[in-house]
Amino acid sequence: MQAEASLADSALRATSLAYVAVDGCGMLRDWNPAAERLFGWSRAEVMGRRLTDVLVPERFRSAHSAAFVRRLVDHDGWPGTQVKVPACHRDGSERQVTLVVNALDDGFCAFLSDETDHDRAREELERSTTLVNSILEHTSAMISAKDTDGRYLFVNAEYERVFQVTANDLVGHEDSEVLPEAVAAAGRRHDQQALERGEAVTALEELPFADEIRQYVVTRFPLTDPDGSVYGVCSIGIDDTDRRRSEAALSETERRFRATVNNVPGMLFQFRIDTEGTASFTFASEGTRELFGYEPREALADASLIVNCVAEEDREAYEASVVESTVTLEPWRWEGTVIDRGGRRHWLHGVGRPFRLSDGSTMWDGMLLDRTTERRTELALEAGRRDLDELTRRLAVFRFTAIAGPTGDALLTASFGDPAPVLGVPQVSTNLFGAFHAVLGSADRLALAEAWTSAVNGEPAEVECEPRGTSVRRLWLRLRPRELDGRRVIDGSCFDLDPR
């Protein structure tokens, strides 16, 4: 018992979720390090003080106190569900926090997380995603993505128009199923080159259309997860037929290309370092303004304006990456932070392909992408998921993994912990629904079936029910779907909402 208490105390100290506990009088009795960081009060300063005076905004204090007393007098059960409320910081500012409340023998406890910055970051991510989707669907370039086995993951509207197919016809299929074998083989070969080299590969490809052959300049580059692992390849194809047929078509294609370039989120550039070490931009897209606060013409006139934006802590790594690429003519890659003209910090991902000019100068064609919002959101979501999963494993009475059977029933594939408190039996057979139905009433069975259907359809679901004949009187069942080897599985966690 002492070991379990010590383990729980360690988890509360280590988690990034704030933890607070109050007694039946509303006095604070526990306050972990994450709560100190979130609200600005040390544990010593708040212990024994009223929760209302420390965290509840003044305009809500009367209502909070009344609700607290009413729950204690009426012996209302705590819901154990997630809600978002305002809370006070020590400096008087308000933060939006998400909390999960649970009852204790004398009072209650809650886990809280700061959602203020996360809400803003999510809005920025959604805006960025909308912008990227709009560009993909309205550009005149054919854009597609495939997994490492050559199966389509995505095609844009231009790709559908050119090949007279829909995305549904292609996704999940290989080139050889929809294109002539010679064309499919060339595309697959270039895909493999991009994957093996780990960099962009550009090639001229000929595609047959009716009674003519169209020529496309196709650039392929690897797609990577945040951890750097490659999961596929993206191709961007621009019809180059007319440019090759006439100078007039060249001008139009160039105009379209520049329009596409300037709509790409991020900065496309051509960067030059001469034999004396002098740096200059020979091309800078409109994204220069968004990333650095300078107009493209300013960057062309003075490259140091852009280079000097690199944050001091990342300057050495940036300079080393440029020197290495200059000497070896290997692709330039760099990730780091810059501080723009207005003092805002951006997290950038840069890539460039170098080549040597006849006068000894080195030129790079490259791109800088702003990953600030995505990076912050990724880190916040990863931390939250890790903490939640860890707490779930520690606090759940019983956990299981199941799949949907042929008739929609839940088929158990793995279980963790003792099922007896929840299901009243020491072991559970494959028929998971049968085990739950044995201890649930008809209304709870229906609620469980609805939650299971939602999870099978890819939506997280939760249900509260009252088992009969088990030690758990009030059960909270949490269902979370995920994909495993191309099949949907459901992870379930059972929590006792009324421990005695």
pLDDT tens readout for residues 17-63: 888 888 878 889 888 898 888 888 898 888 989 888 888 888 887 77
Beta strands in 77-199 (DSSP E): 82-88, 94-104, 107-114, 142-147, 152-155
Tell me what pLDDT residue 225 has: 84
381-385, 424-428, 463-467, 481-485: range with lowest mean pLDDT: 381-385
210 shares a domain with 120: yes
Q: Which residues of 86-118 are buried (b: 16+ CB within 10 A; e: fewer)?
A: ebbeeeeeebebbbbbbbeeebbbbbbbbbeeb
The answer to whether residue 390 sits within a structural domain is: no
Compute the average pLDDT of residues 107-132: 74
Which secondary structure element, helix H or strand E, spans residue 228, and what is its range?
none
* Residue 186, domain member (yes or no): yes
Residue whose structure tokens are 């809500």: 60
Same-domain pairing of 43 and 91: yes
Say if residue 259 is in the same domain as residue 307.
Answer: no
Q: Are residue 133 and residue 163 in the same domain, yes or no?
A: yes
Structural domain including 320 reads 266-385
Angle CA 420–387–458, to nearest 5: 70
Examine the domain organization and report whether 141 and 270 are in the same domain: no
Q: Is the pLDDT of residue 481 over 70?
A: yes
The answer to whether the beta carbons of residues 206 and 214 sit under 8 Å apart is yes
Residues 283, 251 share a domain: no
Tell whether 391 is covered by a domain. no
127 and 103 in a common domain: no
pLDDT average, residue stretch 186-210: 82
Tokens of 40: 């600005």
Residue 193 counted as domain residue:
yes
Q: What pLDDT, on a 0 to 100 scale, did the predictor assign at position 259?
A: 62
DSSP secondary structure string for all residues of 160-220: HHHHT--HHHHBT-BGGGTS-HHHHHHHHHHHHHHHHHTS-EEEEEEEEETTEEEEEEEEE
- Can you tell me which residue has the tokens 């003080």? 49
Long-range contacts of 411-417 (CB under 8 A, 24+ apart): 413/489
CB atoms within 10 A of CB 71: 14
pLDDT computed for residue 81 by the predictor: 62
Q: Assess whether 77 and 130 both reside in one domain.
A: no
Domain check: are 298 and 240 in the same one?
A: no
Give residue 386's pLDDT. Answer: 73
Report pLDDT for 333: 94
Residue finishing a domain among 84, 114, 144: 114
Of 93, 114, 135, the last residue of a domain is 114
Q: Where does the pLDDT of residue 111 fall: very low under 50, low under 70, confident under 90, or very high at 90 and above?
A: confident
> 301-315, 346-360, 411-425: which range is least confident on average?
411-425
For 91, phi and psi rounded to 5 degrees? -80, 5
Q: Is residue 253 part of a domain?
A: yes
CATH code where residue 29 lies = 3.30.450.20
> Residue 166 has which token pair?
């829909």
Asked whether residue 325 is assigned to any structural domain, the reply reads: yes
One domain for residues 473 and 360: no
Q: DSSP class of residue 363?
A: E
Burial class (CB in 10 A: 0-12, 13-18, 19+), 168: exposed
Q: Any residues with CB less than 8 A from the CB of 145 and at least 6 apart, and which? A: 152, 153, 154, 155, 223, 232, 233, 234, 235
In a shared domain, residues 127 and 41: no
Per the structure, how many domains does the chain have?
4
H/E segment holding residue 402: strand 398-404
Instruction: Please say which residue of 358, 385, 412 terminates a domain.
Output: 385
Using 50, 70 and 90 to split pLDDT, how confident is the model at 337?
A: very high
Query: What DSSP designation does 331 have?
Result: P
Domain shared by 252 and 291, yes or no: no
Q: Which is nearest to 490 in space by CA: 385, 391, 388, 414? A: 414
Question: How far, in Å, are 27, 41, 113, 426 from residue 18 at the CA level?
Answer: 17, 12, 6, 35
Is 70 exceeded by the pLDDT of residue 247? no
- Inside any domain, residue 344: yes
In a domain, 318, yes or no: yes
